[in-house]
Structure 1
């Protein structure tokens, strides 16, 4: 399950001359957190006759195994194989009073990327399709399978020159909405100056981007004649899945952001860039782990 994480950057008020600079400060190491997007889905079809499960028990085991893998952050669905997708097939062998499941991991190219045996299970419980026994077997084997699948992913990504492990991520800055004055223009303009660096590249074509950043500004009445300004920066991956959000919140005089944001936009973009870079860095690190 993908969780929507909103992160509040701690903002320090720093006065400098007569210019409002509410967004300057240190967001700290916990300034941005990440909700990891899922990898390509792994299909888990009902085991065939070679699994020694009957026609009623086979789909039950497939559902148990897929659900157990999801608990280890392996996006999995019980169902028929999909063209161009990853596949986990199950067979089994009997040795006396025990049965040992065996698993094969097949890639989109039809090649075998991994083989793994499961934990032995009582033959009678397996053959009779005992629900508790099947669920326990799926839960037990999913842990080891998740490690194997993670290692396969790391090996593939490490050998791919276009992998994010081997090049800087490409970021597209999308629209900013809801800002009074010129904020919808000045905020992304300033963010485009702060995001690029040795670890990140900003692109102008969204089709080339690994990540897209969009902003939404909400201004509500505050106290003492001020307004409360909330800037929410959402980060999505190339599949349009939200992986994180950086939120900035501070009271301002409306005159500070209308008609022009000026130095407030520059300061806000600088702090937002720090959080966004951390979200993306965590995403790249997770993909390679």
Structure 2
């Protein structure tokens, strides 16, 4: 009876507060981030790892203010995990064309993503600013305009990456992710083996393939289990803190994300057979790892529609 009660409590934990995704490791990918050697080898036409943002020549600003706006946009894009750089566009660069148009007594800033072939891939507009304020090139106003526009630009880049993946037969939009599972370590009792078996069985589906060798894997997953003594529970019985961290890294060894499960258990309740507890924990962990892989790879992102072909002047 005591064992069955624990199994139900453990399952309840995992469905409630037991699983947390480390959001700091789940930033949305963009096409201008360097995917590493393995990622580049899978792409048919990989973009460069930076987005050039030249100072605009036709933005209704003086030269000094135009340069400051370019730098502000770069800073705002870096906050969105887009490795932008304030410099003129060079041959082979993707770049962001800054501009501005007069409309009804206001100036509307514009942002166009340009391909290396000079095609306008996307265009976004910022909020209108009184013409006199814009012409004065107020630093606070330029910084605010850049910050307001950055999320939309980053979203467009995500859509561009998704479109590239859609047209790449080798991308994770068209095949299952190859995941090397390095196993579980640190669990008491038979937890290392029971969790590993249950996790491998739970993760396999049409989108994720588990393999036991690291060669050619898109991602690697390993779980570390930690058990520490805690204070007595409400009934006075000794307690332990159980933590499972499922860490996901990409093919280049960069952190892709992690799923963490936490629970307080009766002391030494898992020193023997894990049974259904391992199955419940592994199923929930598999869902978390699947989310990490999907968000990091961008396989679930919506492609940006094809552009109306127009060539940009540098």
What TM-score comes out, normalization by structure 1 length? 0.68
Q: Can you give the 5+ residue segments of structure 2 that lack an aligned partner in the other structure?
A: 34-49, 303-314
Task: Tell me the C-alpha RMSD between the 2 structures.
Answer: 4.3
Secondary structure of 2:184 counterpart: strand
- Residue 247 of structure 1 is matched in structure 2 by 261
State how far apart, in whole Å, the 2-side matches of 1:248 and 1:177 are: 16
- Residue 285 of structure 2 is matched in structure 1 by 272
- Residue 53 of structure 2 is matched in structure 1 by 45
Alpha-carbon distance, 1:101 to partner: 4.3
1:231 partnered with 2:238: no
Mapped contact 2:28–2:295 kept (Cα < 8 A): no
Secondary structure of 1:245 counterpart: strand
Mapped contact 1:63–1:77 kept (Cα < 8 A): no
Q: Can you give the 5+ residue segments of structure 1 that lack an aligned partner in the other structure?
A: 1-12
What TM-score comes out, normalization by structure 2 length? 0.64
Mapped contact 1:176–1:216 kept (Cα < 8 A): yes
1:153 partnered with 2:161: yes
- Residue 213 of structure 1 is matched in structure 2 by 221
- Residue 8 of structure 1 is matched in structure 2 by none
Flag the 1:29–1:229 CA change in 2: closer, same or farther, 3 A.
Answer: closer
- Residue 75 of structure 1 is matched in structure 2 by 82
Mapped contact 1:48–1:91 kept (Cα < 8 A): yes
Secondary structure of 1:288 counterpart: coil
Mapped contact 2:98–2:110 kept (Cα < 8 A): yes
- Residue 72 of structure 2 is matched in structure 1 by 64
State how far apart, in whole Å, the 2-side matches of 1:90 and 1:195 are: 45
Alpha-carbon distance, 1:178 to partner: 3.2
- Residue 257 of structure 1 is matched in structure 2 by 271
- Residue 114 of structure 2 is matched in structure 1 by 106
State how far apart, in whole Å, the 2-side matches of 1:138 and 1:92 are: 13
Alpha-carbon distance, 1:127 to partner: 4.3
